[in-house]
Structures are given as C-alpha cells and as structure tokens.
Amino acid sequence: MTQTNTAPQQSLTQKLANPTRFMQLSGTLMPWLAGAAAALILYALYLAFFVAPEDYQQGQTVKIMFIHVPAAWLGMMGYALIAISSFGYLVFRHPLADVSAKAAAPLGAAFTFLALATGSLWGKPMWGTYWVWDARLTSMLILLFLYFGLMALRSAIDDEALAGKLCAVLGLVGVTILPIIKFSVDWWNTLHQPASVIRMDGPTIHPDLLWPLIVSALGFSLLFFALHMKGMRNEILRRRLRALTMAEVDRARGVSAPAAAE
Amino acid sequence: MIDLGPHAAFIWASYAIYALVLAGVIGWLVWDGARLKARLAALDARGVSRRSRAAAKES
C-alpha cells in the first residue's frame, strides 16, 4: 500500500512569496545583483565619457542622455511594479505584495526626480529653459506627486492592513499616468522629442550612442532591483520587529493586569 | 580632465545630482537595515524572538 502526501501543495509563486524563504533567497541574490549593477554602471560611465562620440546637434550634452533616459524608464517601471504588487495584494491578499509596493515607492520617486532634474539640466543648454509645461514634463511631474501621495498616505494611517489596501487602490488608479507619459509626445505638440529607442520601427539613435545607453539602462535596472530587494528585506524586518514588540507589550499587560487588579 | 565643451557645467551637475541622490538612497537603506537588525538583536537578547512567540502561543 502506498502512502499519500497529505501536506497542501504550494505553487512556485506561493513558495517564493513566503517571507522567510524570500529573506533566504534575497540574502543570496542581492550581493550578486549589486555587484553586477556596479560593474555595468562603471562600464557605462567608461563608454559614456571615453568611447561615445558627440551628438552632431547636441554636442557633449548627449552624455546627460545616458543617465536621464534610464532614470525616466525606471521612474515609470517603479510605478508599474507598484501597480502589479497592488493587484497582487488586493486579489491574493499576500502581505509580501504589499511589502513590494511599499519598498518600490521611494525608489520610483528617486528615479523620477532624477529624470526631472537631469532633464531640466539638459533642457537649459538645448531648449534655452530649465522647465516648460509641456505634456511629457508635466506628466512626469504628476508621476512624482503620485509617488509622494502614496508615501504620505501610507505614513498617515497607523493600521498597516488598511494603509496597504488604500495604497493598493491608489496604486492601481494611478497607473493610468504611465500610458499618458509614454504617448504624451505623440498625442500633444511637445518640446520634448518623440520616442527614439522604444519604437515599432526600431531605435533611431546611432548604435555608437545606443550601446552605452543600453549598458547604462541595464546597470541602473539591476541597481533598482537590488535596492528594491534591500527595501523589501528592511520592511520584513520592520514588520517582524513591530509584531514582536506588540507581543511583548501584550505579554507585559497580561502579567501586570492581575497585579494591578490586586 | 575630459573636455566636455561649453556646457560642461550642466553635464557635471547632472552626474553629481545622480550620484548624490543614489548615494543617499543606498545609505538610507543600509542604515535602516542595520538599525532594524540591531533592534531585533536587542529583543532577541532579552529572550523575545519569533520562537519564543510561537512557544507562547502553543502553551
């Protein structure tokens, strides 16, 4: 007679979504991700400053593109990650999805700010102004405010579960900004140039400038994932700390309550 | 020194802001993680751990 395994079967996502397993896996993976990110970023800097040629119109200011474009992509990717995590939290109610959404917000905000700041510094010598209220710049600014809104909303609510749910709803509603940012340069007449890398008919940038940009984007993407992993690990530790502190307080109350009653 | 032409200040300023912001984010994450680990270790030293909590629930 054969024995049957009665333990509930877990899917791969359920196994990976276990916080303890995530801590083990991320602890191993994070140093490799960070190391690969550092190596790629250093290589991208070498390509940007010593290999890439000047642009025939923009001259040396094209070097700003190697950090501006990855920042803009990662600012948007951060919000897409929040939206996916929010969906996972609202539908599957897994706390690790909420941890992911919370950890992605400050990172997305940082990269969105960097896209705006470097874009502004690129705009002054090329357009003659640091800022113009055109659709691409304004929609990126709204994305930054959405990040601030998510962080402010979470910090304003003490109940962690309620804060997670409300932030997940805002995260999903706010994702509508992403197609607006992407297509803003097509839908409206903007000072910002149209897409030149992610296009249906292929990139229009010369390969000598495209290659450093791709290396830079890969490097900063790996850095984003390493930082996101670190942020998630910190949040898991914070929740463990809070749970243990609450348990200790409850235990102390349980001990002191009869004494107080006596 | 690399010659970055007449707009060198804008290029250096862009890279400097990038380095500052990313160093700030990395520093904050590392500091936050170390602070949380230290607080968890302090609780553990006082006998408050996930195991003790699980044991308390079982008893």
* pLDDT at residue B51, rounded to an integer: 60
Boundaries of domain holding A73: 63-209
* pLDDT at residue B53, rounded to an integer: 57
Kindly identify which residue of chain B lies nearest to residue A228, measuring between CA atoms.
B29
* pLDDT at residue A246, rounded to an integer: 86
CATH number at residue A141: 1.20.120
Q: Is A59 helix (H, G, I), strand (E, B) or coil?
A: strand
User: Which own/partner pairs from A247-253 qualify as long-range (CB within 8 Å, at least 24 positions apart)?
Assistant: A247/B48, A247/B53, A247/B56, A248/B43, A248/B48, A251/B56
- Asked whether residue A236 is domain-assigned, the answer is no
**pLDDT tens digits for B13-45?**
999 999 999 999 999 999 999 999 999 999 888
- Asked whether residue A227 is domain-assigned, the answer is no
Among residues 23-52 of chain B, which lie with CB inside 8 Å of chain A? 25-26, 29-30, 32-33, 36-37, 39-40, 43, 48-50
- Asked whether residue A41 is domain-assigned, the answer is no
A107, A224, A234: best to mutate for the B interface, most B CBs within 10 A:
A234
- Asked whether residue A230 is domain-assigned, the answer is no
- Asked whether residue A137 is domain-assigned, the answer is yes
- Asked whether residue A39 is domain-assigned, the answer is no
* pLDDT at residue A7, rounded to an integer: 52
- Asked whether residue A131 is domain-assigned, the answer is yes
Which two tokens mark A203?
């990139």
A→B contacts (Cβ < 8 Å), by residue, are 49-50, 54, 59-61, 63-64, 67-68, 71, 106-107, 110, 113-114, 117-118, 121-122, 124-125, 223, 227, 230-231, 233-234, 237-238, 240-241, 243-245, 247-248, 251
Domain total of chain A: 1
**pLDDT tens digits for A79-131?**
999 999 999 999 988 889 999 999 999 999 999 999 999 999 999 999 899 99
Confidence of residue B10 (pLDDT cuts 50, 70, 90): very high
- How many other β-carbons are positioned within 10 Å of the β-carbon of residue A20? 9
- Asked whether residue A192 is domain-assigned, the answer is yes
